[in-house]
Amino acid sequence: MTTVWPELPYAAWRDTQATLQLWTQVVGKVRVTLTPWLNHSWHATLYVTSRGLTTSPIPHGNRTFEIEFDFLAQQLVISVSDGGTRKIPLRPRTVADFYAEVMTALQLLNVPVTIKELPAEIPNAIRFSEDRQHDAYDSEYAQRFWKALVQIDRVFKHFRTGFIGKASPVHFFWGSFDLAVTRFSGRKAPRFTGKAPGLDAAVMQEAYSHEVSSAGFWPGGGGIDYAAFYSYAYPTPAQFKSHPVKVGAFNDSLGEFILPYDEVRTAADPDAMLLAFLQDTYSAAAATAGWNRNELECALGEPTAVRT
């Protein structure tokens, strides 16, 4: 299983991760600039594919185009609905050079766009066109990261089938650089007061406008120097942290449950361990916040099995 769930030591690819996060922000900002707003910023995210990460089709007049990080061929592919295509190699290069080449490619494909250059959710960020500090790219670790996302996306999607209330897609947030899936109780939440660099307060307030139980995967950073799964509730119920879970533990400094990726990838049954973490931490949120679970939950879905 360690080849299916690859090793992803944060220290070994920290610099590559920092560069890749900024590259995904360039691409993500193209999507968010042209796509009509969808609740909780769901219009901004990327999605895991069988080759990498994609924007999905982006509208541009009466055409669409799609941008995909292809970690098998190690190239960024821009495809337009009229047949136009441009490919940009993924190799060590500065963020400024990557940004310039992406913008030029879009211009040549007749799908020009102007984006806000300041990265989001990164302290002391540098404008894309001026960033010549971040230039590391190790293709092996970028591919390992994607291979991990393939497995995690698969399990997250299975977990999502056990809920008939409002739930997000499984999607990749390029600001925080994490794969996430969120369940909603259906109730409005108190006004969110948290802040993040490069994000308007209104964006954060809209994202957390309703009560949630959210789980996801970080490859490292954000307060922990290792890849890990997380699960939190907003607003946080008083008894949330003390609710029993089979795997993982509550991290007081982060205010959420954490399960190291290495524990999952080296387990005899990684899928079962990850599903247990997802289910138990969701149950902690739903039970301590008093969700109407009978109206929201269902058995996990199975192929071809229609719900009764």
Q: How far apart are CA 105 and CA 88, in angstroms?
A: 9
Which residues contact residue 290 at a Cβ distance below 8 angstroms, ignoring those fewer than 6 apart?
none
In the three-class reduction of DSSP (H, G, I as helix; E, B as strand; rest coil), residue 242 is classed as: coil
Q: Is 163 exposed, middle or buried (0-12, 13-18, 19+ CB in 10 A)?
A: buried
**With contact defined as beta carbons under 8 Å apart, do 153 and 294 qualify?**
no
Fill in the amino acid letter for 71.
F
In the three-class reduction of DSSP (H, G, I as helix; E, B as strand; rest coil), residue 292 is classed as: coil
How many other CB atoms are found less than 10 A from the CB of residue 83?
6
* First-residue to last-residue Cα distance in the chain: 35
Cα separation values, 146 from 8, 47, 120, 303, Å: 10, 11, 22, 25
Residue 193: the pLDDT is 94
Residue 2: the pLDDT is 55
Q: pLDDT per position in the chain (308 positions), as tens?
A: 457 999 999 999 999 999 999 999 999 999 999 999 999 999 999 999 999 999 999 999 999 999 999 999 999 999 999 999 999 999 999 999 999 999 999 999 999 999 999 999 999 999 999 999 999 999 999 999 999 999 999 999 999 999 999 999 999 999 999 999 999 999 999 999 999 999 999 999 999 999 999 999 999 987 899 999 999 999 999 999 999 999 999 999 999 999 999 999 999 999 999 999 999 999 999 999 999 999 999 999 999 999 88
Radius of gyration of the chain (CA): 19
- Following DSSP, what letter does each residue of 101-131 receive, concatenated? HHHHHHHHTT-------S-SS-TT---GGG-
Residue 222: the pLDDT is 79
Both tokens of 82, joined, read 């009229």
User: Which residue bears the tokens 């592919």?
Assistant: 77
- Whole-model pTM: value is 0.96
Fill in the amino acid letter for 32.
V
The 10 Å CB-count burial string (b at 16+, else e) for 43-74 is: ebbbbbbebbbbbbbbebeeebbebbbbbeee
Both tokens of 275, joined, read 């599903």
**With contact defined as beta carbons under 8 Å apart, do 212 and 234 qualify?**
yes
Parallel, antiparallel, or unpaired for β 178-188 and 210-218? antiparallel
User: Which residue bears the tokens 């999507």?
Assistant: 31
Helix or strand holding residue 151 (H, E): helix 139-160
How many other CB atoms are found less than 10 A from the CB of residue 38?
10
Residue 105 dihedral angles phi and psi, to the nearest 5°: -60, -40
Centroid of chain to Cα 90: 20
